[in-house]
Amino acid sequence: MEILNKVRNLDAYPKINEDFYSRTLSGGLITIISTIVMIFLFISEIRLFLYSGPESKLVVDTSRGEKLRVNFDVTFPSLACSLLSVDAMDISGERHYNIRHDILKKRLDQHGNVIASLQDGIGAPKIERPLQKHGGRLDHNETYCGSCYGAEESEHDCCNSCEEVREAYQKKHWGLPNLEMIDQCKREGYIQKVKDEEGEGCNINGFLEVNKVAGSIHFAPGKSFHQFNIHIFDIFSFQREYNISHKINKLSFGKDFPGVVNPLDGAQWTQGISSGMYQYFVKVVPTIYNDITGHKTHTNQFSVTEHFREGDIYPKPVPGVLIIYDFSPIKVIFTEENRSLLHFLTHICAIIGGVFTVAGIIDTIFYHGHQAIKKKMALGKLG
């Protein structure tokens, strides 16, 4: 009993007899308002506790030898699929021309409706046994060797496809003859294919796996070559002006993650009078996203600037859309973290104590003010 009395004497919350309570209208209103404020703050704190945003930090990117996946979906409303090619190159010296794997092309009519889907673009399989060889009939068991139309480096050189004829002329730095006069091109149906798609547009989508070094991706009309460290495009004699108006439906470097913003998604550009090259200069920022379950996503963000090079300047730019990308040396790490329960309880106590304290101060001001007014009225000193 003596111990209980000592504990009772330690009570920091002395109780006041109800006879000394004074309940007022202003106190009731302040209590209601305080309760609403506390409920609102409780809900906000619970949301922050359950759905807290990711924390970010910056570190130096020390990764090496990684690959980069570039996802793209681009629409060219005035460029036929038979003319559109995709090339990729980087500063390490790796070059890929007229890429076809993991890429899908869709032919579009003038209204943007899909006509057909294509897996292959320019070119066709080689003709292994056409009707004649260099103007003569093939003997039995004789293999075909197509003419290069004067561009052979030796008498044993063969051009068995339209592309090989064009490559042979590029090696000689000769202008291309009329492709309608080349037997291989006629047999492959290349000329007719281009004519059939005249006036159409093209949607090209897919992805590329490239080295994680600075490089570029080129969407361009024609077939590209690389000779003596010069990037050359075969511009066909029957069509020299190209409308490279385009819309980038999607462009991303790596996987998507919550909150990612790809600044070129939905971007579009319409060509004016002159043709030329539209350039996007992209700065890629390596990113790691750690979700609340501990799963780690290696991806990238990027920023971009744009520039159009008109075709009437010298040297004349290769027509098309060029995406030039480089990497930031800084890596961003996002980590999803829930607040600790102790942190949550601390905030709840702060809300309760803070609201009650502020409400008590306001109630005291109102109460004493009201009492002062009543006393003055009783003494006849008011007004």
Give the tens place of pLDDT for each residue, 292-310.
887 899 999 999 999 998 8
Task: Tell me, yes or no, whether 151 lies in a domain.
Answer: yes
217 and 284 together in one domain: yes
Q: Which two tokens stand for residue 82?
A: 């038979």
24 and 143 together in one domain: no
Q: From residue 309, how far is each of 139, 173, 274, 285, 304 by CA, in Å? A: 54, 25, 10, 26, 16
135 and 270 together in one domain: no
Whole-angstrom distance, CA of residue 197 vs CA of residue 116? 11
Among residues 147, 166, 188, which one ends one of the domains?
188
Whole-angstrom distance, CA of residue 82 vs CA of residue 328? 36
Q: What is the pLDDT of residue 62?
A: 87
List the domain range (segments joined by +) for residue 141.
125-188
Task: Tell me, yes or no, whether 12 lies in a domain.
Answer: no
Tell me how many domains the chain contains.
3
Among residues 138, 159, 188, which one ends one of the domains?
188
Tokens 């999607």 belong to 250
Q: What is the pLDDT of residue 343?
A: 81
pLDDT in tens, 25-75: 888 888 889 889 999 998 888 887 777 667 889 999 988 778 889 999 999
Task: Tell me, yes or no, whether 298 lies in a domain.
Answer: yes
| Secondary structure E strands in 214-275 | 215-221, 223-227, 230-234, 246-253, 267-269
74 and 151 together in one domain: no
Provide the percentage of residues in the chain whose pLDDT is more than 90. Answer: 26
Tokens 């601390």 belong to 346
Q: What is the pLDDT of residue 237?
A: 38
β-pairing verdict for 276-290 and 246-253:
unpaired
Note the helical H segments in the chain: 2-9, 25-50, 162-172, 183-188, 190-196, 341-379
Q: What is the pLDDT of residue 143?
A: 66
Q: Are 303 and 287 in contact (CB under 8 A)?
A: no
Q: Could you tell me which residues are beta bridge partners of residue 297?
A: 289
β-pairing verdict for 215-221 and 103-108:
unpaired
223 and 285 together in one domain: yes
Q: From residue 147, how far is each of 79, 97, 124, 171 by CA, in Å? A: 31, 24, 17, 15
Q: What is the pLDDT of residue 258?
A: 86
**pTM value?**
0.67
Q: Are 26 and 367 in contact (CB under 8 A)?
A: yes
Which own/partner contact pairs does 241-244 have at CB distance under 8 Å and 24+ positions apart? 241/275, 242/79, 242/83, 242/275, 242/319, 242/320, 243/78, 243/79, 243/271, 243/275, 244/76, 244/78, 244/79, 244/271, 244/275, 244/276, 244/277, 244/278, 244/319, 244/320, 244/321
| Secondary structure E strands in 254-338 | 267-269, 276-290, 296-310, 320-327, 330-336
Task: Tell me, yes or no, whether 165 lies in a domain.
Answer: yes
What average pLDDT does range 200-205 have in this prediction?
92
* pLDDT level of residue 191 (50, 70, 90 thresholds): low
Task: Tell me, yes or no, whether 104 lies in a domain.
Answer: yes
Q: What is the pLDDT of residue 178?
A: 67
DSSP 177-194: --GGG-HHHHHHTHHHHH
Task: Tell me, yes or no, whether 160 lies in a domain.
Answer: yes
pLDDT in tens, 120-174: 444 444 444 443 444 444 444 456 788 888 888 887 788 887 778 877 887 776 7
What average pLDDT does range 324-332 have in this prediction?
94
pLDDT in tens, 223-240: 554 443 344 444 443 345
What average pLDDT does range 246-262 have in this prediction?
92
Cα 242 from chain centroid (whole Å): 26
